[in-house]
A = this chain, B = another copy of it.
Amino acid sequence: MRRLKVVDGAPAACCSPIAARAMSEDDAETTASVFKALSDPGRVRILNLLATSAQPVCVCHITPEVGLSQPTVSFHLKKLVQAGLLEREQRGVWAFYSVNRDALKRLGKVFELEGVRA
């Protein structure tokens, strides 16, 4: 398995646009890994919960909100943090999570077809 190219510690920090003229195999693997992190409905709902919150959300509130077991939520959160889509902050005994707004902004640009080719 090839190592993922990681910038700033996470794949979502460096996705090439889909319409990039020169996309390497490493680039494709990095981009695919970010989409893989998003390929579960529970993770999409966690991301939605955090994207609609003005403040970081305690893991103790995320679990009841998404209606999944605590270990499942923890696993999803770990994958989303590893992909660079979420940020994690420890406050005493609880972890608080928020979306990485820069990463989502970059991810939106991955699908831009115009301009990239100019």
Contacts and interface: CB of A to CB of B under 8 A. Distances in A.
B25 A47 contact: no
**In the assembly, how many copies of this chain are there?**
2
Interface of A: prevailing SS: helix
A65 to B, nearest CB: 12
Interface residues of A, number: 38
A108 interface: yes
Contact of A39 (B32, B105, B110): B32
A47 B31 CA distance: 12
Interface of A: 16, 18-21, 23, 25, 28-29, 31-33, 35-36, 38-45, 47-48, 51-52, 99, 101, 104-105, 107-113, 117
